[in-house]
Chain A
């Protein structure tokens, strides 16, 4: 089986570009707090979703709708409506994280396929099977804390399909279990679908030294001519004890292209690309490369290497937790 390429789309244009570039599947969200990439100017209104899904279907591609924030107490209706609308728009599946929303969807939309979001951080086979049994979850997006051998072991113990991140932004913390952004800016990935938001970013030039701040905290300081990375909290520069540096993670992004053969052997069903906030040209190029790679793999041809390095943040990439030494 050729591994499925699951590609992000933050806009209808990106969705079309991804489909044309060969994505088997595209994931996207509605333009509100129900999805974990709730950025200004991104995501789909209902009409765009319906049209986008129809376009994908006409090209033989599937669309997954991410409804993967945690519904607000007293305000769950917005999330319930998103589930109903995703089904009405013809989504192949919804990607959910919240226990209550999974229970609600399994009960009131039993015919709608359910995937477990990375935001649910299901990191072992027992928990994945639990979601499978309780809510009929068919696929789990694995949290970025697992090594390839661990992923292989999980696949031996579960019938639930696994989808893993292979390219793009890298959460260092277990997803759906991080309140760093909420602590520093008041904007929460779990509640608002926002992490380290641009609205709380400031850059200040102090005589050739450039500071990047998030929520008033200076987490990057670079000299003249250096480029200041975006101040994402977990990739900031800090000091502790005698050390100063990127104590949590360097400003790197994930690129697991070299691991595709291992991931296939590990029994992974689908490869996920991060980046609903990315441009359609970026999305198309990443998809083209990964599609070529999985097709080569399926045909027993050698993989192209280094194909995506220039698309990575700051040129620096990591294979993240897939290599055990990352921990």
Chain B
């Protein structure tokens, strides 16, 4: 099974952003998706570092893919998306707008924010040129198995959300800005202070969600480690690991050991928990009653 690193979902200053990709050049991952997913206002702060990151990763033998934005509404965003589609690099479509701009028949990949829930949708995307689809994180194992089989028949690689805070929603409204009494247009980049999103607690002070500008994520870090054998059995081709501000190289290494079978799920899961102190893990979308649920505690 392969490992794909998804686009960084958070707003990091340029140095930190570039350092992630320098590190990933040496990490045991097969593919790196990069670029701005969440908010077009962030892009100018690190845009000029993208070509170098692409170059570094490609030289290290990684497949490099550029992501589209998750929600394209503004004229400026439409222009950005057109340019992305015309750049000639492999594009990960995370809003169907990008697909509308891609040259007819050009290969592309599909990210987890496009709703691919069934075989007919998968087949339609395959016909358009999709070569790889990362499924929506909320899909259960039963649906993943059906889609992995369909993907194999269609020649589309199937990827599953493997690790990291789960993207749960995208909005026209910026919650970071709202929290600071500002509007999105005058956000003053409040989200920059929270390199893994801002923890959102319930009225009982229970950790629940994370705020990331216009995006809302889970508080828990999804961890598909307990299910890697089942996913492999189902024919899933890759796990997606989502960047976080600390310990990410270690996370990549742990999943590598797991998918290579050099260490077992119990040992890997225990170690992953140590990399995420103070945060719970979840795998409920795969196998639980609710997305937040975690089966890992019962591993033995």
Contacts and interface: CB of A to CB of B under 8 A. Distances in A.
Given A73-B143, A190-B138, A243-B179, A174 B172 contact: yes
Interface in B149-203: 150, 166, 168-175, 177-179, 183-185, 198-203
A183 B118 contact: no
Contact of A99 (B75, B124, B175, B205): B124
Contacts of A325: 183
Nearest to B292: A183
A143 B171 CA distance: 10
B125 A99 contact: yes
B100 A127 contact: yes
Interface string A208-249: 000100010111110000000000001011111101000111
A126 B138 contact: no
Interface in B198-218: 198-206, 208-209, 211, 216, 218
B101 interface: yes
B110 to A, nearest CB: 10
A218 B202 contact: yes
Interface residues of A, number: 67
Interface stretch (A13-21, A144-152, A275-283): A144-152
Given A124-B73, A183-B168, A183-B290, A324 B117 contact: no
B97 A76 contact: no
Interface in A288-324: 321, 324
Nearest to A174: B170
A138 to B, nearest CB: 18
Interface string B69-83: 011110101100000
A145 B200 contact: no
B202 A191 contact: no
B69 to A, nearest CB: 11
Contact of B100 (A70, A130, A145, A211): A130
Interface string A90-109: 00000001111101100000
Interface residues of B, number: 71
Nearest to A243: B179
Contact of B117 (A71, A177, A182, A239): A71
A193 interface: no
B73 A123 contact: yes
B141 to A, nearest CB: 11
Nearest to B201: A239
Nearest to A187: B290
Contact of B119 (A100, A150, A221): A100
B289 interface: yes
A312 to B, nearest CB: 20
A73 B202 CA distance: 34
A144 B172 contact: yes
Given A127-B100, A186-B284, A215-B290, A71 B120 contact: yes
B56 interface: no
B99 to A, nearest CB: 7
Given A130-B97, A190-B138, A221-B203, 4 more contacts: A101-B121, A123-B71, A186-B291, A327-B172
20 contacts: A71-B117, A74-B143, A98-B117, A99-B96, A99-B124, A100-B117, A100-B122, A103-B121, A126-B101, A127-B95, A145-B71, A173-B170, A173-B216, A174-B169, A180-B168, A180-B169, A183-B290, A217-B206, A248-B175, A327-B177
Interface of A: 70-76, 97-101, 103-104, 121-124, 126-127, 129-130, 143-146, 150, 153, 172-174, 176-180, 182-186, 188, 190-191, 211, 215, 217-221, 234, 236-241, 243, 247-249, 321, 324-327
